[in-house]
């Protein structure tokens, strides 16, 4: 079952390992995003282990996606979606506690609702609708819901930029198969590139927010 080949993307003509070279190789964008975020974290992260953990998850996102776009099996698909889910859920929990300053009971309640909605859309909406992208819509909404009220701050601007990029990224993911006849390479590789930019933007915002809080505390002393 787990070794069953699957073909979900325009670029793949057969089950061979390198049948999706562009989709596979554009995963390097996630490693670039992780490296850039790590460098920023070393300079301004104040040893924040939560953000460092998210950066390490980004590396797993790149590795998992590469595995999926080369092996193209049901088992490899779990390696792809698993780290993505961990990053999204981890960042949302961080945002609820740190950006919105919710208490642990309230944060966990909202977090549970977010997970239920995301998984419900991912499982309940047929893949033929939005090409399996419905589960990402709650994450898109969170970017704007948190970013817009804080648009005057580094965090808010970073999340709004990430939201615009993520909306474009989802549109390109949805368009991969419908545009296949006109564009045989497909558009899924752009999902990788834009998502790497989204990931860097949200990490930039989180690190900037931590730096702002440190500066505010120092100024108050």
**Using one digit for the tens of pLDDT, what is the confidence trace for 44-103?**
988 999 999 999 999 999 999 999 999 999 999 999 999 999 999 999 999 999 999 999
Residue pair 192/29 in contact by the 8 Å Cβ criterion: yes
**For residues 149-173, average pLDDT:** 98
What per-residue confidence (pLDDT) applies to 219?
47
Evaluate whether residue 3 is within a structural domain. no
Give, as one character, the DSSP assignment of residue 73.
B
pLDDT of 214 above 80: no
Task: Output the pLDDT for position 62.
Answer: 99
Q: What is the pLDDT of residue 210?
A: 74
Q: Has residue 10 been placed in a domain? A: no
Specify the residue for token string 């099996």: 73
d(CA 84, CA 27): 13
Share of the chain above pLDDT 70, in %: 95
Q: Which of 15-29, 85-99, 110-124, 203-217 has the lowest mean pLDDT?
A: 203-217
125 domain residue, yes or no: yes
Contacts of 145 (CB under 8 A, 6+ apart): none
Q: How many CA atoms lie within 13 A of 192 on its CB side?
A: 26
Range of the domain at 105: 21-215
| Cβ contacts of 213 within 8 Å, gap of 6 or more | none
> Over pLDDT 90: what percentage of the chain?
91
Number of domains composing the chain: 1
Residue 7: inside a domain: no
Helix (H, G, I), strand (E, B) or coil at 5: strand
Contact, 129 vs 178, CB < 8 A?
Answer: no
**Confidence grade of residue 212 (pLDDT, cut at 50, 70, 90):** low
In a domain, 50, yes or no: yes
Classify residue 127: in a domain, yes or no: yes
The tokens for 100 are: 């919105």
172: in domain: yes
Look at residue 218 and tell me whether its pLDDT is greater than 50. no
> Rounded to the nearest 5 degrees, what angle is found at the Cα of 98, between the Cα atoms of 208 and 51?
55
In a domain, 78, yes or no: yes
HSE on the CB side for 180, CA within 13 Å? 12
- Residue 115, exposed/middle/buried by CB under 10 A (0-12, 13-18, 19+)? middle
pLDDT score at 213: 63
Confidence of residue 15 (pLDDT cuts 50, 70, 90): very high
Residue 183 reports pLDDT greater than 70:
yes
């Amino acid at each position: 079952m787990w070794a069953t080949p699957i073909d979900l993307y325009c670029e793949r003509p057969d089950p061979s390992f390198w049948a999706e070279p562009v989709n596979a190789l554009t995963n390097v964008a996630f490693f670039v995003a992780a490296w850039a975020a790590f460098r920023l974290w070393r300079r301004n992260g104040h040893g924040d282990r939560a953000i460092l953990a998210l950066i390490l998850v980004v590396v797993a996102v790149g590795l998992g996606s590469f595995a999926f776009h080369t092996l193209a099996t049901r088992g490899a698909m779990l390696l792809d979606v698993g780290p993505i889910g961990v990053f999204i859920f981890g960042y949302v929990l961080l945002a609820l506690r740190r950006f919105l300053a919710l208490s642990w009971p309230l944060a966990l309640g909202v977090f549970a609702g977010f997970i239920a909605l995301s998984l419900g859309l991912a499982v309940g909406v047929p893949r033929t609708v939005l090409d399996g992208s419905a589960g990402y819509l709650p994450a898109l909404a969170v970017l704007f819901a948190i970013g817009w009220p804080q648009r005057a701050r580094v965090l808010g601007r970073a999340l709004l930029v990430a939201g615009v990029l993520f909306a474009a990224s989802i549109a390109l993911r949805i368009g991969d198969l419908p545009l296949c006849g006109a564009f045989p390479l497909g558009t899924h590789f752009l999902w990788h590139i834009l998502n790497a930019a989204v990931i860097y933007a949200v990490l930039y915002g989180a690190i900037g927010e931590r730096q702002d809080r440190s500066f505010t505390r120092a100024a108050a002393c």
